[in-house]
Amino acid sequence: MKPVILAEKPSQAKAYADAFSVRRHEGYLELLPSPIFSEGAYITWGIGHLVELKEPKEYDPKWAKWSLASLPILPERYEFQVAKGKTKQFAIVKKLIKGTDTVINACDVDISL
């Protein structure tokens, strides 16, 4: 199986791929076999955050309007959703990850705030 390298953004993925021979695909790059990746590899990326926590109002309508009285907002179980406008890239990343047994996290090392 080809490993999947997950970059944080397209420009970062391109910078990694510049060291290899590649085929371009929509939403990812395919690294051709090389001494480092004997079977090749895939590089894909996020576009900022691909998933996010659901809005408070989606857990409970009483949290639709913010007030000090409703704080803290602590749902029984936090739920995630694909961020608006990022469904296509999320599907590409998901498909690639499901088809491998190795994912290399090549995202930024900083803490996103």
pLDDT digits (tens, 9 = 90+) for 38-89: 999 999 999 989 999 999 999 999 999 988 988 999 999 999 999 999 999 9
Whole-Å CA distances, 60 to 63, 65, 70, 77, 78:
6, 11, 11, 12, 12
Task: Find out whether 103 and 1 touch, Cβ atoms under 8 Å.
Answer: no
> pTM for the full model?
0.85
How is residue 98 written in tokens?
Answer: 């499901």
CA–CA dist 98, 22 (Å, integer): 21
Percent of the chain exceeding pLDDT 90 equals 89
Q: What are the chain's domains?
A: 1-47+86-113 (3.40.50.140), 51-84 (no CATH)
Return the bridge partners of 103, or none: 4
